[in-house]
Copies of this chain bind each other. A is one copy, B any other.
């Protein structure tokens, strides 16, 4: 991948060297139209050495088989999405969630990724106590973190945009995620910095520095913010550069905080899924270089 010009939104300039894709990781949801073998072949062909995987397609393909495919393709699995959904009050539902998360940890270990992304879960039906729900997330981490650590997996708590606070994730800001993560050793519980979820928050830069200083940035994910949001607000993430997020600024910010890991592009967008996967992948790489490097 050469000849892609990095540029400021308003100040394009000529590149001097080929662009480095070594930190770029493709979350498989970005090219959801691809099977796992297609993903492996497509990334290899595009010179991309890392992927983020999701549990459902991995389970469908077979966890061991997926792990072998990634190994044989020379691909690094930068994260597994996702465990979590810890917020049930009902003891039976809660026990089931913990069991499911132990299985997710086992899967992450099998895939040789050190990072299991966790989405906390929303408020149970008729529950109006979001502070208590957040405490149940901390309680679940206390049960799971040692189990994960024994298997070489770090739990990566992901704050989701506040528009998901009731139905998907009661942890809405990086500050909230850190307040919980910091109760545990940094090698056991980290946080995810995802531009889509955090871009609007004036406190997020300071919390990124705090997360970096504590060695807690477990993953860094990119997607752009575009409107209007679709019904349900789940599948409206923008291709890099199509929205209003200063992606390059965020990349520099996590790097300045000491992060040296993968930069994972995770875009849920049916318009991308309707296109040829290789074309989408090439576009993502080009946009990454132009808007985020």
Contacts and interface: CB of A to CB of B under 8 A. Distances in A.
A268 to B, nearest CB: 15
Contact of A163 (B162, B243, B245): B162
Most buried by B among A128, A131, A134, A201: A128
B9 A128 contact: yes
A223 to B, nearest CB: 13
Interface string A179-209: 0000000000000000000011111000000
Contacts of A161: 162-163
Contact of A162 (B127, B129, B167, B200): B200
Nearest to A205: B131
Contacts of A163: 161-163, 229, 233
B126 A200 contact: no
Interface in A227-250: 227-233, 243-246, 249
Contact of A244 (B134, B166, B199): B166
Interface in A1-40: 9-10
Tell me the dominant secondary structure on chain A's binding face: loop
Contacts of A201: 162, 172-173
Nearest to A133: B244
Given A123-B244, A166-B243, A131 B202 contact: yes
A163 B199 CA distance: 11
Interface of A: 9-10, 123, 126-131, 134, 161-163, 165-167, 172-173, 175-176, 199-203, 225, 227-233, 243-246, 249
Given A230-B231, A233-B233, 9 more contacts: A9-B126, A123-B244, A130-B200, A162-B201, A165-B225, A227-B232, A228-B233, A229-B232, A231-B231
